[in-house]
Structure formats: C-alpha cells, structure tokens
Amino acid sequence: MADASARLRFWGVRGSTPTPTIENLTFGGNTPCVEIRTADNQVIIFDAGSGIRNLGQSLMKEAGGQNIDASIFLTHFHWDHIQGIPFFAPIYGPKNKVSFYSGIQGRPLQETLEGQMAKPYFPVNFDQVAAQRSFHLIPRQESVKVGSATIIPFEMNHPQGAAGYRVEIGDAVIVYATDYEHGDPEHDKTLRKYAEKADILICDAQYTPAEYESHRGWGHSTWLNAVHVAKDAGARRLFLFHHDPTHDDQSMMRIAEDARMHFENAIAAWEGFVAVL
C-alpha cells in the first residue's frame, strides 16, 4: 500500500535565480528545493537552491537540539541548484549527518561542492563544516534506499547533464524531473519511462510555448510539454516547476489555468505547498 503519511513540500520553485520581489509573493522566489518526509521520518531533499535555507531552519527548530539526518539528491551543479548549501544550518551541527547524492557521472561530487565554499567565495570552507558528511555517486542503472524510499536516477537532456529521480515509497511514486529540455527522442523516451504511472510528476515548465522558440538549447521545457509527458506517462498529478524569473504571480496563474485546460490535475507549484501521499 502507499505510505499515506509520507508528504512532499516545496521550499523553492523558481528557476535560474532567486526573485525576492513583491510580485512573486504567491508562488515564491526561492530556487529549487523539494523535501520528501517519509513515515519513518527520513528527510529526503531534492536540490539545494536558496529554498534549502528555510528548510534547514525548520529542521533545526523541529529537532530541538537532537541529531538531524538528511539526504540531499542533486540534479546537477548549476548555481541555482546548489547555492543554498552554505546556508543550510544542519551542516554546521557536529552531531548532524548530511549525505549528498548525485546521479551525474564525472567529476567527484565532494570536489564539485567544495568549489563554491572555497576562498574567496565564502568565509567557511566546505571541509571545515562540523556535520558528518558523505558523498555518493549513484552508478548508472542502480538505485539508492533511504529508509522506506527507493530513489532511482535517470538521465535528462540539459547542458552539462542533469539527473531526474523516480522515488518509490510503497506503492506511491514521485518523479522529480526539473532542468529538462524536450526534443531529444532518447531523453524524451527515458523521461516517460521513469514517469510511468507516477502519483506526482514534478516537471520543468519554465517557458510558455511562445517563449520557448527563442530559448531553444537553454535546457528547459514548457508547460505544454509537461502536460504531454504527464498524459503519455499516465501520471495522476502534475506539478509545474522551475518557474522563469520573469513570470510574476499573474503570469503563473495564467500558465496554471492554461495547463489545467489540457490536464485537469495540473498545478503550478508554489513555496509552502504540501502534498500528502
């Protein structure tokens, strides 16, 4: 049976760069960060954009001085997906444990993450933070178990590469597929395969179809393509994600309405939104 007490929360939904402006208060301006909390209280985090700062503060308050054990799965290493790591409070607690995972092959994960906290970019080096840290590159075609969740990475079409993740908790399935550009047949087929019968599909929808024409090759997709993926894969719910910095609340409301005309269970994700499995 599906784990009815597991839940998903959006802490950052914006793409490319934070947009802390009054015009974006409804949907939010923080860059990508999504938390899944399992019934056995495992904290599983996808991406570490600026939204992870607020998540870290929440975890510290919730823990009340007790140890925190968190697993962070990164889609790739562009700035908007890792910029919150230096401000994630749990990494400074000596009794805390933070595990970093990546589905991208290539440069060592620890070395990649250390770069943004090296002199002169940040006053504290990454190797000086107090938490117990571990770094895991997930081999191709393999999966990772975190508590009751199984996380399976898959390759997506994005400049310099990116990994999507299929998360299975009991019978429930969440697919996290941000920073993906449609149009490559093999990658399009792969996404539909891993999104098959998903209860929740979180999908890159940065552009409108009209905007996409001048953004080909930038590594992002449209709300209309997200709808096509959801339909083709038989997904139950679609959450549009990685909103463009230029899309204010009014623009996002129009996009959500357009998407719902094609797929009834489409939602434009916003900060603070919680979905229960």
For residue 158, what is the domain's CATH number?
3.60.15.10
Residue 266 in any domain: the answer is yes
Residue 252 in any domain: the answer is yes
Show the domain range for 41: 7-276
pTM equals 0.96
For residues 149 and 36, the answer to whether their CB atoms sit within 8 Å is: yes
Cα 275 versus chain centre, distance: 14
Residue 182 in any domain: the answer is yes
Total count of domains within the chain:
1
Residue 154 in any domain: the answer is yes
Give the pLDDT mean for 225-244.
98
Give the pLDDT mean for 9-18.
98
- Of 197, 203, 194, 271, the closest CA to residue 240 belongs to 203
Percent of the chain with pLDDT over 70: 99
> What is the overall mean pLDDT for the chain?
96
Distance of alpha carbon 209 from alpha carbon 207, whole angstroms: 6
Over residues 108-134, the pLDDT tens digits come to 999 999 999 999 999 999 999 999 999
Where are any strands of DSSP class E within the chain?
7-12, 33-37, 43-46, 69-74, 97-102, 132-137, 144-146, 149-156, 162-169, 172-177, 200-204, 237-241, 266-268, 274-276
Residue 31 in any domain: the answer is yes
Residue 1 in any domain: the answer is no
Question: Band of the pLDDT at 4, cuts 50, 70, 90?
Answer: low
CA distances from 9 to 14, 157, 234, 260 (A): 14, 25, 22, 21
Can you read off the two tokens belonging to residue 199?
């209860």
Residues contacting 97, CB < 8 A, separation 6+? 67, 68, 69, 70, 131, 132, 133, 134
